[in-house]
């Protein structure tokens, strides 16, 4: 059985240990690849119910690769295709937006399982209604994001209610309602004890939404702006100190690069090109690591790296044939990583250089 | 007759422990027998060094698989990789997954019982094992419960809530028993809540004391926070396992990141006692000293890595030392009587500090704190080291760590006047894994073995008197290396990355070697017949 075959089997067996889980993933030609690459550590629960853009799924996969996920570039591209196709954003494209801006379509918060299983599921429509009540009755003392007010007249400096245990223990108004029913000052002067059950529920959804926005999986966690550099200085670095022209040309391979990637993706891609997925683009064109293996009594064999550790080395030659050797002191192994210069750059490049280069690359439309 | 009688005695001596189990006492924990691994790190020093030498650098290639035990459990958001260090007592291994405990015969891999906790939530990222005392096991659940089980039957005795799930705490550590105290830590850096460590009664589970990872308002250390509200919501989770010096009667552990995690502008100052190595009196929870590896952390570099206790010699003077290879890329050696720094030296790529302060603590460079347009930082959020335990060999004088050189870009997402929770994160990255043998006296790397391939297996390390060090590589190999030189000697490819801290022990005259990879526990030994 091939190594890939073994992996697939392991993935299938892993998920089959809990009946039904694997079946919950939508069918698709890349499903087995998802099970194989992701199933070593994750259950399908992780993606079920999630929704992200292709770029965001790309970021997630890049992050997993940096944390040790194993697979070929083609396999990661398949995983990206599958996730982006089957788990698109639930409501619009997530963009950073002020939380208090009324009527903005909100991306669904993602979960890594934090908190109680029976925690409140925020109803966005009711949260929007709750926001109106909040703005009318609470915002002056508790602030636009319910994080409290540290300025203004002392009697109007209310505490942070995102951090309130009353709010965190609440389910659909259970503890918030009990608190407000005792009577709490409001902006309008209406006693909070007179709030209807519907108003309490709406406020509850709004406040739980505010809590969710602070999580690492919060819906507004995306890069704000990387275009802070000087394109002229970036061009100089590109052509000079950075030695980028050793392999690249603004008029050839990088022509129009800024039309293919947004600026945050350009930044991540030029720093970490060996991470297989960037900004939502498939990377079937990723250059392979090449090996030349010279046995003591035989001709040198050159091909694409399949596996290299302290004990074994294997590759696929240009005819597609697979070769494997046990490593010994007599076996010569030469490795040619096309991204070695990028990796070496990490120890030298300054943040100013990075942002200058991105500003320059952004001009290559 | 006499021959038969002596055979009977031999047989009885060999099998008495298996037939008539001995209770774990404080003496067991203070002086673990060779046929046991009775606490998370094997003993209180945290060094994960075994004096066994039947498996050694000369015969390691005779090692073979004795048995494999597969849990058959998957599921959970993070899957079901065994991160627990199994405990061994009376020939029975006890280990965990989140919500699960197993008892398995160490000789055969045969399951004696397993226990499942009906969870109400919490992050199921991992569980690092049980604590054992008398005939009782203790373990923590992701939904914030401390559970005690009978070692023989796996039946629950009691459970106690140790944290609030609604505040998004969870629990993952292996409880450690010191004297009559059961030490429990908490996890969870989603919301801005304080970390704490607790001691519980071994019989009843009742709370004895709780120590919060922040000073009290008005104390001098409180000046390391801009205001009391920030301090009382400042994080510092206690998800590492304590080590203990019985002579000094001090426990040692590290604390996690301050809150909010990435965006630090609402908590200017050093943020004590987050990101600190702390010494406490186990009888009352009073702090004896602290040392802060990452003042004002903004990179999520929890300083919870094992504080390894070394009885060493520096400049000809015998010293009581404590060493940590910290997630932030620095190796620290402290005097564990008072917390004074002796060595501070990088052991992996680290570009975030602009120097050391008078106490030997790195001074964070503001330019390398997360930025709106991104800052390239080493190490990445995963860190130069993480929870997988390192090892120290008194034979070689080397501290062994699977160290990661890693870069990522840290971004600020939340520019609010009062950021909360996360407010930023790191993205992407490059990493390479290097097993290093570090001279504890100087922090100098005596040998380094770079593993091929990107990424890092987060496996723990074990060293033995057989001049061996065991660790995982990024290619799913479990490898034995020469402890003096770092030369790889033996390996087995487990198909999945080694996922816990390996252990070793001797039963019936046979030395066993155990490691987990994914959902399977593997046992290796030299099986004569």
Please check whether residue A163 touches B, CB under 8 A.
Answer: yes
**Which residues, in sequence order, are CB contacts of A77 under 8 Å at separation 6+?**
A276, A277, A282, A283, A284
Domain-wise residue ranges, chain A: 3-86, 124-213, 231-285+341-361, 290-337
Domain-embedded: residue B320:
yes
Which residue among the candidates B43, B300, B302, B426 is catalytic per the annotation? B300
pLDDT at A222: 86
B451:A309 CB<8 A: yes
Does B189 qualify as catalytic in the annotation?
no
B242 pLDDT above the threshold of 60? yes
Please check whether residue A277 touches B, CB under 8 A.
Answer: no
A357 pLDDT above the threshold of 50? yes
* Chain B residues near residue A42 by CB distance under 8 angstroms: 77-79
B16 pLDDT above the threshold of 70? no
Q: What whole-number distance in Å separates Cα of residue B200 and Cα of residue B140?
A: 13
pLDDT at B198: 98
Name the residue among B22, B64, B47 with its Cα closest to residue B510.
Answer: B64
pLDDT at B53: 97
When mean pLDDT is compared across A209-218, B45-54, B397-406, the lowest value belongs to A209-218
- Stronger pLDDT, B349 or A27, i.e. the higher one: B349
* Chain B residues near residue A279 by CB distance under 8 angstroms: none
Give the nearest partner residue to B376 out of A112, A223, A346, using CB atoms: A346
pLDDT at A45: 59
When mean pLDDT is compared across A13-27, A312-326, B421-435, the lowest value belongs to A13-27
| Range picked from A41-50, A296-305, B426-435, B449-458 for highest mean pLDDT | A296-305
Complex-level ipTM beyond the 0.90 threshold: yes
Residue B489's CB is within 10 A of a number of other CB atoms, namely 18
Domain hosting B449: range is: 24-525
Residues 438-457 (B) with a CB less than 8 A from some CB of A = 451-457
* Chain A residues near residue B409 by CB distance under 8 angstroms: 267-268, 271
* Chain A residues near residue B378 by CB distance under 8 angstroms: 346
pLDDT at A219: 77
Contact B477, B28 (CB under 8 A): no
- Stronger pLDDT, A107 or B330, i.e. the higher one: B330
Tell me which of B77, B470, B476 to substitute to probe the interface with A (most A C-beta atoms closer than 10 Å): B77
**Res. A82 pLDDT band, cuts 50 70 90:** confident
Quote the CATH superfamily of domain A124-213. Answer: Cytochrome c-like domain (1.10.760.10)
The pLDDT tens digits of the residues spanning B496-520 come to: 999 999 999 999 999 999 999 999 9
pLDDT at A100: 37
pLDDT at B529: 57
The pLDDT tens digits of the residues spanning A180-227 come to: 999 999 999 989 999 999 999 999 999 999 999 999 877 778 899 999
Domain-embedded: residue B59:
yes
Structural tokens at position B285: 């929870």
pLDDT at B17: 42
B371:A351 CB<8 A: yes
Q: Searching chain B, which residue's CA lies closest to the CA of residue A171?
A: B166
What is the average pLDDT across A40-67?
67
pLDDT at B307: 98
**Res. B13 pLDDT band, cuts 50 70 90:** very low
Arithmetic mean of pLDDT over chain B: 94
B430:A354 CB<8 A: no
B160 forms bridges with which residues in the sheet?
A: B146
Domain-embedded: residue B8:
no
Please check whether residue B98 touches A, CB under 8 A.
Answer: no
pLDDT at A281: 47
When mean pLDDT is compared across A97-106, A325-334, B107-116, the lowest value belongs to A97-106
Tell me which of B70, B72, B74 to substitute to probe the interface with A (most A C-beta atoms closer than 10 Å): B74
Domain-embedded: residue B12:
no
pLDDT at A81: 81
Domain-embedded: residue B446:
yes
Q: Searching chain B, which residue's CA lies closest to the CA of residue A7?
A: B495
Name the residue among A220, A240, A249, A197 with its Cα closest to residue A353.
Answer: A240
The pLDDT tens digits of the residues spanning A292-310 come to: 999 999 899 999 999 999 9
Give the nearest partner residue to B491 out of A169, A214, A311, using CB atoms: A311
Domain-embedded: residue B7:
no
Residue B410's CB is within 10 A of a number of other CB atoms, namely 23
pLDDT at B236: 98
* Chain B residues near residue A308 by CB distance under 8 angstroms: 452-453, 475
Q: What whole-number distance in Å separates Cα of residue B364 and Cα of residue B26?
A: 42
CATH number assigned to the domain comprising residue B179: 2.140.10.10
- In the block, tokens 């001098």 appear at B220
Domain count, chain B: 1
Query: Cα torsion at B44, B46, B51, B53 (round to 10°)?
Result: 150
What is the average pLDDT across B318-326?
98
CB pairs under 8 A between A and B: 238
- Stronger pLDDT, B428 or A257, i.e. the higher one: A257
Contact A356, A237 (CB under 8 A): yes
**Res. B459 pLDDT band, cuts 50 70 90:** confident
What is the average pLDDT across B97-124?
96
pLDDT at A150: 80
**Which residues, in sequence order, are CB contacts of B218 under 8 Å at separation 6+?**
none
Q: What pTM did the predictor assign?
A: 0.87
A226:B191 CB<8 A: no
Domain-embedded: residue B394:
yes
B250 pLDDT above the threshold of 70? yes
- Stronger pLDDT, A265 or B39, i.e. the higher one: B39
């Amino acid at each position: 059985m091939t190594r890939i075959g073994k992996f697939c089997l392991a993935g299938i067996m892993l998920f089959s240990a809990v009946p039904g889980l694997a079946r919950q993933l939508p069918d698709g030609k890349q499903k087995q690849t998802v099970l194989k690459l992701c199933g070593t550590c994750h259950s399908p629960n992780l993606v079920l119910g999630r929704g992200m853009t292709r770029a965001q799924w790309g970021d997630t996969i890049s992050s997993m690769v940096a944390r040790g996920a194993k697979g070929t570039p083609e396999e990661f591209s398949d995983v990206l295709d599958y996730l982006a196709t089957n788990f698109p954003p639930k409501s619009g494209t997530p963009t950073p937006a002020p939380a208090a801006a009324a009527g903005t379509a909100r991306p669904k918060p993602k979960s890594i399982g934090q908190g109680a299983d029976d925690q409140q599921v925020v109803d966005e429509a009711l949260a929007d209604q709750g926001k109106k009540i909040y703005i009318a009755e609470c915002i002056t003392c508790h602030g636009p994001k319910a994080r409290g007010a540290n300025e203004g007249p002392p009697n109007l400096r209310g505490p942070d209610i995102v951090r309130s245990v009353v709010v965190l223990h609440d389910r659909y108004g259970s503890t918030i309602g009990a608190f407000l029913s005792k009577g709490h000052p409001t902006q309008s002067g209406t006693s909070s004890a007179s709030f209807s059950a519907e108003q309490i529920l709406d406020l509850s959804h709004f406040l739980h939404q505010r809590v969710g926005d602070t999580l690492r999986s919060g819906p507004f966690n995306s890069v704000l702006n990387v275009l802070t550099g000087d394109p002229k200085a970036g061009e100089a670095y590109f052509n000079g100190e950075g030695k980028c022209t050793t392999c690249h040309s603004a008029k050839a391979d990088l022509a129009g690069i800024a039309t293919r990637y947004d600026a945050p993706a350009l930044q991540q891609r030029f720093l970490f090109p060996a991470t297989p997925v960037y900004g939502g683009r498939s990377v079937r064109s990723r250059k392979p690591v090449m090996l030349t293996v010279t046995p003591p009594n035989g001709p040198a064999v050159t091909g694409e790296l399949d596996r290299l550790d302290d004990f074994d080395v294997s590759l696929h030659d240009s005819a597609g044939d697979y070769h494997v050797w046990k490593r010994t002191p007599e076996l010569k192994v030469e490795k040619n990583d096309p991204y070695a210069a990028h990796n070496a750059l990490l120890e030298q490049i300054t943040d100013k250089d990075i942002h200058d280069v991105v500003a320059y690359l952004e001009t290559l439309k | 007759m006499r021959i038969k009688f002596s055979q009977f005695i031999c047989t009885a001596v060999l099998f008495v422990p298996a037939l008539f189990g001995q209770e774990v006492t404080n003496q067991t924990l203070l002086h673990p027998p060779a046929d046991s691994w009775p606490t998370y790190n094997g003993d209180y020093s945290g060094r994960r060094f075994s004096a066994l030498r039947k498996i050694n650098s000369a015969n390691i290639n005779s090692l073979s698989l004795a048995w494999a035990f597969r849990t058959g459990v998957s599921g959970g958001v993070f899957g079901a990789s065994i991160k627990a260090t199994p405990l061994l007592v009376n020939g029975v291994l006890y280990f965990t997954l989140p919500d699960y405990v197993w008892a398995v015969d160490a000789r055969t891999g045969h399951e004696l019982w397993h226990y499942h906790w009906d969870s109400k939530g919490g992050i199921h990222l991992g569980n690092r094992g049980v604590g054992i005392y008398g005939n009782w096991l203790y373990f923590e659940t992701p939904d914030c419960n401390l559970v005690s089980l009978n070692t023989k039957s796996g039946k629950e005795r009691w459970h106690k809530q140790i944290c609030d799930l609604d505040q998004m705490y969870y629990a993952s550590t292996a409880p450690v028993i010191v004297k009559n105290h059961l030490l429990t830590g908490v996890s969870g850096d989603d919301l801005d809540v304080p970390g704490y460590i607790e001691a519980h009664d071994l019989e009843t589970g009742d709370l004895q004391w709780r120590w919060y990872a922040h000073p009290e308002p008005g104390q001098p250390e409180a000046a390391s926070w801009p205001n009391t509200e920030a301090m009382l919501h400042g994080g510092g989770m206690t998800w590492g396992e304590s080590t203990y010096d019985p002579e000094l009667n001090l426990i040692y552990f590290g604390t996690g990141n301050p809150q909010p995690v990435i965006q630090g502008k609402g908590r200017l100052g050093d943020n004590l006692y987050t990101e600190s190595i702390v010494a406490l009196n186990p009888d009352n929870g009073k702090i004896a000293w602290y040392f802060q590896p990452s003042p004002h952390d903004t990179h999520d570099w929890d300083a919870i890595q094992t504080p390894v206790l070394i009885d060493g010699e520096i400049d000809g003077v015998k010293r009581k030392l404590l060493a940590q290879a910290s997630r932030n890329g620095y190796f620290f050696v402290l005097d564990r009587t008072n917390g004074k720094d002796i060595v501070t030296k990088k052991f992996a790529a680290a570009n975030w500090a602009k120097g050391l302060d008078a106490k030997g603590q790195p001074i964070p460079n503001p330019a390398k704190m997360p930025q709106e347009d991104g800052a390239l930082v080493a190490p990445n959020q995963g860190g130069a080291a993480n929870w997988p335990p390192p090892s120290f060999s008194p034979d070689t004088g080397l501290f062994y760590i699977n160290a990661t050189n890693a870069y990522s870009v840290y971004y600020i997402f939340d520019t609010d006047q009062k950021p909360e929770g996360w407010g930023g994160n790191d993205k992407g990255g490059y990493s390479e894994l290097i097993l290093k043998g570090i001279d504890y006296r100087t922090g100098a790397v005596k040998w380094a073995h770079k593993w091929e391939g990107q990424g890092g297996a987060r496996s723990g390390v074990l060293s033995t008197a057989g001049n061996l060090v065991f660790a995982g590589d990024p290619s799913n190999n479990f490898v034995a290396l020469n402890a003096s030189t770092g030369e790889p000697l033996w390996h087995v490819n487990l198909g999945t990355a080694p996922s816990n801290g390996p252990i070793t022990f001797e039963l019936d005259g046979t030395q066993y070697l155990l490691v987990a990879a994914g959902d399977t526990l593997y046992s290796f030994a030299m099986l004569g017949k």
